[in-house]
Amino acid sequence: MTLRFSVLASGSTGNAFYIESNEQKFLVDAGLSGKQMDHLFSKVNVDPAQLTGILVTHEHSDHIKGLGIIARKYNLPIYANEKTWNAMEKSLGKLSLDQKFIFGMEEVKTFGDMDIESFGVSHDAAEPMFYTFRHDGKKVALVTDLGYVSERIKKTVEDADAYIFEANHDVGMLRMGRYPWSVKRRILGDSGHVSNEDAGLALTDIISNRTKRIYLAHLSLDNNMKDLARMSVQNVLHERGIEIDLQDTDPKNPTALYEVG
């Protein structure tokens, strides 16, 4: 086995991502209730008691709702940068000191046979960051919750075997939708979320011949649809002569464990 992963849940109501190597098992974010998280793990036949730890991207509730509960229940270490810890610690409940670890921005940490690299993104949180995972020459990149994809981010995540990539909204649906203009402006802004079309454009710059699969993630319930997101991204890629396997994600149901390689 090289790397295997499942997008346990993805969307504005809750986010969680699981990835494992031969020796390591990590959860990234726990944005659903403890009960829901246990249910998601059971669906992919993963025992959360066997996790190496939990990585946190940022403090928004759709990423940390069940974090404290899961960490306490299974006595798991949590890794986040200092500003994120400061922003979320009060909402997690009591944790022991040996469960709290700093994972700095733009840092690479090695856990056994897995190298994990953090990178900063533009989003309206304290210090949001996401991750790439490497093992045995394989690379998986998790890229959501960002207003735009900078050249620095592209360089960090390029040439991955698989991507979990944000396709949050259709711009037309968002502009015509029920949200107040202040919320629309936030989503459309540089610290908001990536649209379907912008996701396709960014992906054309970073994928390579080794890229086999892309999961479209963090879709808005109000301003997007799975078919529309897939079609929009596929059209952009197709125009540039790129044909690749696009996968849906869901806010309530995990994707099947996918083995990279």
DSSP string, 55-124: E-----HHHHTTHHHHHHHHT--EEE-HHHHHHHHHHH----GGGEEE--TT-EEEETTEEEEEEE--SS
Q: Where do runs of H (alpha helix) occur along 161-242?
A: 171-176, 181-188, 196-206, 226-239
As given in the structure block, the two tokens for residue 234 are 């596929």
pTM above 0.75, yes or no: yes
User: pLDDT tens per residue, the chain (261 residues)?
Assistant: 789 999 999 999 999 999 999 999 999 999 999 999 999 999 999 999 999 999 999 999 999 999 999 999 999 999 999 999 999 999 999 999 999 999 999 999 999 999 999 999 999 999 999 999 999 999 999 999 999 999 999 999 999 999 999 999 999 999 999 999 999 999 999 999 999 999 999 999 999 999 999 999 999 999 999 999 999 999 999 999 999 989 999 999 999 999 997
φ, ψ at 134 (rounded to 5°): -130, 140
User: CA 102 → CA 64, 150, 249, distances in Å?
Assistant: 16, 25, 29
> Of 239, 202, 122, nearest to 130 (Cα)?
122
